[in-house]
Structure 1
């Protein structure tokens, strides 16, 4: 037996291939949109992909389960509660998959979603691992507030938090302490609030260190789980729906995106998303473009700033970067919204450096906009007198910013303020100067 973990760093997503040498088969768990690594793994083992298990309809990425079924003939397994619109076999508590020396057993573990399952892996009758999806993370558990309006089954966050309490204690904590824990996400995901850096653990280790497995009353657990959860990106309900229906094959879908020449006209009423580094964007960019850099959590911010269904152009530094941007947009199902992709060839707009000395001496002479998230802002302002508008809300709320002074946009490190300053500049149409404080926020 071999368990191979795959990581999509941009989305802090873990997926898995479980290989049975005896049967010459591979079972996949929560695969990402791009099937390539799984197909290559199976080919290297001279094995056949026979099954794909979905622990739930994911909110933060698009799964390739339907494409894998169509191209390999693999059976898709998921809870009957998903209401899946693709060919599948129900996989709920009491159901098993046998392949060679390996047995996969379903546990219904609602809490993150009403239809979540965890998968216990046995080798020759001995429990070896549990794939916990978004139920149990390393150091945390899944957030319970993503299914109030999304999916086949909806539930309030309070009800799901109570279900999480019982799923953790009555299902997962009863497994042997040496059971390996393989979650669907790591640190950096928005599917939990305080994940550890490790990519796997054991049930015993989590009992000792994971806050969610400690000795809470149910009410105290619910209160703690519901507090300080991060924001919900705009695209999360959209991806739940895509995953419940099954996404089209990624490369075929990307093949529908038109790559236009750099000098081609782009419709003025369509959003321009410029993925180049912030320094290059400030030196020269197209009128009304917004800067979502390809570095960092590009997918998350694309899906937080751009509303599902909104068309946009994608601009990159070169063809290599454009292909990467297209692939990463597809990982959250946004490729169908791309009006065209192009390599940047120059623009008339610039953004001047922030006048740091003047800002330090006379901060009252500027309107300061803080684009950090609500939970960060609640911990305290970094600059006194700032106006707090989280980045994911900025396009809708830029009109709230006073125009009586030059505007300085900041976050905690620079990525979000680059995006935020470009959004504000685009929205205010040169009525006042707009500056990006960038990494200089760390010096205040």
Structure 2
């Protein structure tokens, strides 16, 4: 038996291949199926099963593409109401894979249709649990993503109550040496305090995971619901897309229109400019947002841009352009790209250059906009009287910002503030500045 973890750092997403006797099963595969095909070929294995622990909110799965390509059976909970051909996989159901057995355990809480896959070895002993978004290393899945989307919808309090039952009646009952293989690690927005470790054991989680400690149901619900991170705009869209099954990855990418740099772009359509902020500030197109290519590009794209919104995509070279198109496809946004192009020759707009010394000497002369997440602001602020508007809400709430003074935008390190400045400067008459990475030289004031 072999278990292989595939980890996507950008989305902090873990998927798995389970191999026994030349037969291979996949759990929660990413949008690009090629790594799984390569692994199967390397091990001369046949992909016979694809398991979805639930309809994912934060990435698009390739389960349907893999099934169509290989003939593998898709296994999901019947509660999911999947639109594609599948086999129901719920409490007590088992799938034989070579010498091992994969057993279904319904584990609602993150979603009503979540399933954990318990791997039994050739002797029937509990070996590993593929927990999806139900149990993470150091956390459990947030319960507030299925209030308005999916085949089954549930209020956050109801799902938190279900998670309490799941932790006590399922996870605490597994053997201590059972390996825990979750679908996410630190950086995922599917929980609030995930560890950077990508696997664990039940015994370790019983000792260190706050959600597996003994507490009353009411205390558990209160603890689980508080301080959850923001919900990106694309999450509900991806739940529905995964319920239906996405189109083939390579074909979807190839369908993105490629434009020449001097193409005339349609007025009023948003432009996502992925160039480094120094280049963007020197010159860019109006109605553009500077969302730099980086480790979390896809998350911020889906947090700032709505799932029904078309946009142009600009990059500094072909390598970056190909990369950001692929990342957009990972969250199902490739169909939103009206055109992808390299840097246009004429860039009529530019950004104001920040005088750090002038700001440092008199910060009260500026309206300071803190675009960090709510939890970050709650933990401490850099400036008194700063107006806090999280970046994912900035486009919708920019009218709350007074324009009687110059505006200074800041985040925690500079990546988000570059996007924030670009969102505001096109519409504001007053000057908009970006504190950028100079923010790291200011002390946090705890509340």
* TM, length-normalised to structure 1: 0.98
What residue is the counterpart of 1:317 in the other structure?
316
Q: State the SS of the aligned residue for 2:427.
A: helix
Q: State the SS of the aligned residue for 2:399.
A: helix
What residue is the counterpart of 1:359 in the other structure?
359
Q: State the SS of the aligned residue for 1:440.
A: helix
* TM, length-normalised to structure 2: 0.97
Which residues in structure 2 correspond to 1:45-444 (within 5 Å)? 45-124=43-122, 125-346=124-345, 347-428=347-428, 431-444=429-442
Given that residues 395 and 427 in structure 1 are in contact (C-alpha distance below 8 angstroms), is that contact kept between their aligned partners in structure 2? no
Counterparts of 1:243 and 1:288, CA distance in 2: 31
Number of positions where the alignment pairs a residue of Structure 1 with one of Structure 2? 440
Q: Deviations over 1:167-220 (max 9, x none)?
A: 111111111111000000000000000011111000001101111111111111
Q: State the SS of the aligned residue for 2:426.
A: helix
Counterparts of 2:322 and 2:314, CA distance in 1: 11
How far apart are 1:134 and its partner, in Å?
Answer: 0.3
Given that residues 76 and 88 in structure 2 are in contact (C-alpha distance below 8 angstroms), is that contact kept between their aligned partners in structure 1? yes
How far apart are 1:268 and its partner, in Å?
Answer: 1.7
Q: State the SS of the aligned residue for 2:398.
A: helix
Counterparts of 1:266 and 1:10, CA distance in 2: 29
Per mean C-alpha deviation after superposition, the further-off stretch among 386-395 and 184-193 is 386-395
Stretches of structure 1 lacking an aligned partner (at least 5 in a row): none
Given that residues 288 and 425 in structure 1 are in contact (C-alpha distance below 8 angstroms), is that contact kept between their aligned partners in structure 2? no
Q: Deviations over 1:352-402 (max 9, x none)?
A: 331111111111111111111122222332211211111111111112211
What residue is the counterpart of 1:9 in the other structure?
9
Counterparts of 1:228 and 1:282, CA distance in 2: 34
How far apart are 1:403 and its partner, in Å?
Answer: 1.3
Counterparts of 2:308 and 2:220, CA distance in 1: 37
Given that residues 398 and 427 in structure 1 are in contact (C-alpha distance below 8 angstroms), is that contact kept between their aligned partners in structure 2? no
Counterparts of 2:325 and 2:426, CA distance in 1: 23
Q: Deviations over 1:117-144 (max 9, x none)?
A: 0000011112110000000000011000
Counterparts of 2:76 and 2:49, CA distance in 1: 11
Counterparts of 1:116 and 1:427, CA distance in 2: 44
Counterparts of 1:283 and 1:41, CA distance in 2: 45
Counterparts of 1:288 and 1:366, CA distance in 2: 24
Q: Deviations over 1:1-37 (max 9, x none)?
A: 11000011110000000111x2x11100000000010
Counterparts of 1:364 and 1:130, CA distance in 2: 54
Q: State the SS of the aligned residue for 1:163.
A: helix
What residue is the counterpart of 2:445 in the other structure?
none
